[in-house]
Homo-oligomer: A and B are copies of this chain.
Amino acid sequence: MSLMWRVKVVGLGVVALSLSLELLGWLFGRLRHKRTLNKVLFFPSEVACVEHLFSPNSARACFCPLPHGVETSFSRLLCHILSATSSLDLCVFSFSNMDLSRAVLLLHKKAVTIRVLSDKDYSAITGSQIGILRKAGICVRCDVDSAYMHHKFAVVDGRLLITGSLNWTLTAVQSNMENILITEEAELVQPFIKEFHRLWVLNDPARFYKNLISDDGH
C-alpha cells in the first residue's frame, strides 16, 4: 500500500472514531439525563383509592366508595415510597397519616431497612403513628432537643430524596397547600443522607443516657 493510501485510511479512521465518540457522548448524555429523576408534587391531593398500590398482584377488587384508577399527587408520593427495595430513612416532624404508615409497615415486612427520626413532642400526640411503627419493630428515634425536629424528608435506597413542606398527616395531604420535591440529583440527595446520619447518631438514646450518667459523675 502506498504512503498516500495509508494516510487516507488513517484519516478516515480518525473521522469515524471521532464521529462515533460524538454520537456515543450524545447518547450517553441523553440516557444519563433520562435517569436523573426530578419531579414536583403539589397538594392538596385529589382523594382516590390507593388500595392497588399496596396489593398490586391481588385479584381482589376494592369496593371502597373512592374514585378508582385515578393518579393523584398522593398516589405518586406513595409509589415512590413503596419503590424502596433496600432502605428507607425517614425524618419527619409529624406522622399520623394511616396510608403512609401502612406503606412503611409493608416495606418493613418486605425486609427493607427502615430508620425513622421524629419530633419528640409530636410523636406523643393522639393519632401519631410513631408508636405503632416502634411496636412493629421498626427502629425509631426521637430528637432529645427542646426545639422542633421540623424536617419532612425521606431517602429511598440511598438514592432518591423526597422532601418538602408536607408533614405525613391527613390534613397536609388532603387539605393544605403543600409541596413535595422528588429528586435523584446526587448534589441534593447526598447532603440529606449525611444530615440524616448526623441526626441519627446525635439522637441515639444510648448516647443520651451515657451523657446523663457521666453528668451525674458515675
Residue of B nearest to A39 (CB): B187
In the complex, the count of this chain's copies comes to 2
Which chain A residues in 16-30 approach chain B with CB under 8 Å? Answer: 18-19, 21-22, 25-26, 29
Given A7-B8, A8-B7, decide whether A195 and B181 contact each other with a Cβ distance below 8 A: no
Is A75 interfacial (CB 8 A cutoff)?
Answer: no
Contact between chains at A177 and B147 (CB < 8 Å): yes
Which chain A residues in 195-209 approach chain B with CB under 8 Å? Answer: 195, 199
> Within the assembled complex, what's the spacing in Å between the Cα atoms of A163 and B14?
49
Identify whether the interface residues of A are mostly helix, strand, loop, or mixed.
Answer: mixed
Q: In which size bucket is the chain A interface?
A: 35 or more
A213 to chain B, nearest CB (A): 25
**Residues 35-70 of chain A: 1 if any B CB is under 8 Å from the residue's CB, otherwise 0?**
000111010100000000000000000000000000
Top 9 A-B residue pairs of the complex, sorted by shortest distance between their CB atoms: A11-B11, A38-B187, A147-B175, A40-B191, A18-B18, A150-B176, A148-B176, A149-B177, A14-B15
Give 13 A-B pairs besides A40-B191, A147-B177 with Cβ atoms closer than 8 angstroms: A8-B8, A25-B26, A29-B29, A38-B187, A143-B177, A145-B177, A148-B171, A150-B165, A150-B176, A150-B177, A152-B165, A163-B164, A179-B192
